[in-house]
Amino acid sequence: MKRIITITSVLLLLSGCSWGQNDNIVTKDKKDSAQSENNSKVKNHQNVDSDLLLESKYFNQIKDVNGQKLIENSSNILALVNKTYSIGSYIPNDLVRPNVQFSFGDQDIEKSYMRKEAANALEKMFQNAKSDGIELYASSGYRSYKRQKEVLNAEIANVGKEKAVQAVATPGQSEHQTGLAMDITSQSENFLLTESFEKQKEGIWLRKHAHEYGFILRYPKGKEKITGYEYEPWHFRYVGKKCASIIYTNNWTLEDYFKHVKKV
C-alpha cells in the first residue's frame, strides 16, 4: 500500500514539474511573440523615410455627422480639408492681418486675415520675393462659413451648380475657412485671379519658392481628379516648411502626402 502511495506521489510531483515547465514555455512564447511584434513595428518604421513619419495629431480626427465626415481637430495645421472632409462652422481663434500688400488696398476686411503662423510666413515670403524683384499682392485669405455660402450661391447663379462646385467649395469644405490659405495675385495680372498668372514672373516665382516658406500650390494642374478642384495657380496653402518641401519635391498634392506618410 505504501509502495502504491509513494509511486502515486512521485507521478504527481513529476506531473507538477511538467506543468510548471509548460507554463514557462507558454510565457516565454508570449514574450517572444510580443518582442517579435515590437521589432516588426520598429523595422517597418526603419524602412520608411523618416521624413514620411508623421505624428498622429496631424492626421484628421473624423466624426461622422449625418453622413458627413467632420474634422474634430480643425485647428491642426495640416488639416486635410476637401470635398470629403469638412471643418463645419469652425472659426480660427488666432486670426491676424499680415503686414503685406493687398490687391484691395488697406481695407481691414475678413479676407485680409490669416492664422498667425501662416501670416508670419506670408510676410517673409512677400519680403523675400520683393528682394528678388517680385511684387506680390494678397487677394483673399480667411473666409467664414457664412461668406463661403454667399460666394458659392453667387457662382451657382452665374454658371450653374455643376460648374460652380468645380471651382468653389461648399461651406465647411473650403481651405479659406481654415485661415491657412491665401490667393495671391500681381499688378501684371491686373490683380485678378486667372490661370494666366502661371505665366507671369510672379506666378513662376511662387511655384519655385513658396515651399521654402511653408506654402504649397494647393490645386496643381493635372491633379484635378485628386483634389476635386480646377487648377488654381494663385491659391497657396500653408502646411509648414517640412511638409511643403516634401510635397514640392515629390510633385504631390496634400491628398497624395497623406497617402504616403505613416502615423507614429
Per-residue H/E/C for the chain: CHHHHHHHHHHHHHHHHHHHHHHHHHHHHHHHHHHHHHHHHHHHHHCCCHHHEECHHHCCCEEEECCEEEECCCCCCCCCCCCCEECCCCCCCCEECCCCCECCCCCCCHHHCEEHHHHHHHHHHHHHHHHCCCCCEEEECCCCHHHHHHHHHHHHHHHCHHHHHHHCCCCCCCHHHHCCEEEEECHHHCCCCCHHHHHCHHHHHHHHHHHHHCEEECCCCCCHHHHCCCCCCCEEEECCHHHHHHHHHHCCCHHHHHHHCEEC
| 193 shares its domain with 257 | yes
| 29 shares its domain with 145 | no
The CATH number covering residue 87 comes to 3.30.1380.10
Distance of alpha carbon 143 from alpha carbon 192, whole angstroms = 18
Instruction: From 25, 47, 69, give the residue that closes a domain.
Output: 47
pLDDT at site 67: 87
Averaged over 89-109, what is the pLDDT? 97
Distance of alpha carbon 164 from alpha carbon 144, whole angstroms = 18
pLDDT in tens, 57-82: 999 999 999 889 999 999 999 999 99
| 92 shares its domain with 154 | yes
pLDDT at site 32: 56
Could you give phi then psi for residue 30, rounded to 5 degrees?
-65, -40
| 135 shares its domain with 7 | no
- pLDDT at position 112 over 70: yes
| 177 shares its domain with 156 | yes
Distance of alpha carbon 92 from alpha carbon 99, whole angstroms = 19
Residue percentage of the chain with pLDDT more than 70: 82
| 170 shares its domain with 259 | yes
Cell numbers found for residue 139: 487677394
Residue 71's beta-bridge partner residues?
62
- pLDDT at position 257 over 90: yes
- pLDDT at position 177 over 90: yes
pLDDT in tens, 114-166: 999 999 999 999 999 999 999 999 999 999 999 999 999 999 999 999 999 88
Rg (CA), the chain: 28
Instruction: From 47, 65, 84, give the residue that closes a domain.
Output: 47
| 40 shares its domain with 67 | no
| 208 shares its domain with 138 | yes
pLDDT at site 213: 98
Tell me the residue length of the chain. Answer: 264
| 36 shares its domain with 57 | no
| 219 shares its domain with 259 | yes
Q: If pLDDT is split at 50, 70 and 90, which confidence band does 6 have?
A: very low
Number of folded domains that form the chain? 2
pLDDT in tens, 22-50: 444 444 555 555 555 555 444 455 566 88
**Which residues are part of the catalytic machinery?**
232
* Mean of per-residue pLDDT scores for the chain: 87
Pair 227, 161: CB distance under 8 Å: no
pLDDT at site 26: 45
pLDDT at site 48: 66
| 15 shares its domain with 31 | yes
| 167 shares its domain with 112 | yes
- Taking the CA of residue 98 as centre, how many other CA atoms within 13 Å lie in the half-sphere pointing to its CB? 30
Give the structural domain span for 29. 2-47
Identify the CA nearest to 87 among candidates 183, 187, 170. Answer: 170
